[in-house]
Amino acid sequence: MNLPEHVTLIEVGPRDGLQNEKNEIPTDVKIQFIKELKKAGFKEMELTSFVSPKWVPQLKDALDIIQYCTDEHRNLVLTPNEKGVMRAKEAKCRDVAFFVGVSESFNLKNINSTTKESMDKLLPLIRELKEDGFFVRACISTAFYCPYEGKIHPDAVLDICQQFADAGVDDLSVADTIGMANPLEVYELFSRLKAQFPDMLLTAHFHDTRGMALANIYAALQAGVDRFDTSAGGLGGCPFAPGATGNAATEDVLHMLKALNIETGIDMNQLLKAVEVIEPHLAGAIQSKQHQLNKQEKAVN
Ligand code: HMG
Ligand code: MG
């Protein structure tokens, strides 16, 4: 088995996890959730997004989140455009993530631009941020399937990643937005990405709509990927990708990685405490296996 000794888990629960949540979560609860997650040992986290509050009302408190939650670690904020970058700079963020859909139809629904229009606007912003010493991540959505266009050709994904790489991004986070990919497709795409970008941070981002996220993570590990976006409690989904459910649950991924003797530096008990902080505020119950087992164990003792 080709497995790494260490994997970095990038916690995206506070951003991807909450952006699609029906209940309005109080800002102080979000802050407590993030603080408990940080205690579990995450060194990279997507905290929130500087997007239009009309499009994603749940994240309208982004500035407060940044003010109370940034520390010496990598605290990523998503930005869709120049205004988002301006807000991120005003908030003194140093770690910025852009997002674009390989699929034109998805990109139009998500950020109201064609993929080319987005790239034409984002690439100069990325170059500027890199000159100013920012950490820049590029999130590539619909890298396998699009809810509107169906199967996406891997060549199109590699082409967009190359444009981001040429602009100087530090990290490519390549996403199965609607959880339709299978391990064969994952192995093929990530093997090609690893070969084309051997010196780049390469992250895999799986939604678990069809229960394939763990299998896909295992396939990505085999392809040499050692960074994964995961979401505490398995929360998540994009409001503009119909049918997409939550991300791979961090605690279930952690359980698998531990069983494979892969180090992450994350404390399971503390992670489960963070999940307990957010659960009472959600519209639905958390379904992750580790959280369910933890609850059962507590009920017995
Ligand atoms: P638009 O309506 O075309 O924007 O939306 P606009 O430029 O015409 O501006 C409209 C209004 O929004 C104006 O305000 C702007 O000032 C304001 P008004 O004059 O009406 O009062 N505005 C902003 N406000 C705050 N922050 C900003 C900003 N920009 C404009 N940055 C826009 C275009 C991009 C703004 C909108 O489509 C948007 O915010 N989209 C965000 C969608 C989103 O957050 N999606 C989820 C994240 S991506 C994801 O989840 C996928 C990922 O997880 C990977 C995967 O799983 O695939 C990363
Ligand atoms: Mg996502």
pLDDT for res 25: 98
Domains of the chain from N-terminus onward: 6-298 (3.20.20.70)
pLDDT for res 2: 87
The CA 119 to ligand 2 mean position distance, Å, reads 19
Q: Are 80 and 99 in contact (CB under 8 A)?
A: yes
Q: Which of 51, 65, 160 to mutate to test the pocket of ligand 1 (most atoms within 8 A of CB)?
A: 51
Tell me if residue 146 is catalytic.
no
Angle, vertex CA 293, rays to CA 31 and CA 23, nearest 5: 35
Q: Whose alpha carbon is nearest atom 13 of ligand 1?
A: 52
CA distance linking residue 145 with residue 206, whole number of Å:
12
DSSP per-residue codes, 190-252: HHHHHHH-TTSEEEEEEB-TTS-HHHHHHHHHHTT--EEEEBGGG----TTSTT--PBPBHHH
Please give all residues whose beta carbon lies within 6 A of any atom in ligand 1, as ranges: 16, 19, 49-52, 54-56, 78, 80-81, 83-84, 87, 99, 110-112, 139, 141, 175, 177, 205, 207, 238, 240
- From first to last of its 301 residues, the chain has per-residue pLDDT tens of 789 999 999 999 999 999 999 999 999 999 999 999 999 999 999 999 999 999 999 999 999 999 999 999 999 999 999 999 999 999 999 999 999 999 999 999 999 999 999 999 999 999 999 999 999 999 999 999 999 999 999 999 999 999 999 999 999 999 999 999 999 999 999 999 999 999 999 999 999 999 999 999 999 999 999 999 999 999 999 999 987 899 999 999 999 999 999 999 999 999 999 999 999 999 999 999 999 999 999 999 8
Who contacts 182 (Cβ-Cβ below 8 Å, separation ≥6)? 212, 215, 216
Q: Are 229 and 192 in contact (CB under 8 A)?
A: no
Neighbouring residues of the ion ligand 2, judged by CB less than 5 Å: 16
pLDDT for res 203: 99
Who contacts 236 (Cβ-Cβ below 8 Å, separation ≥6)? 12, 13, 16, 17, 19, 20, 207, 245, 246, 247
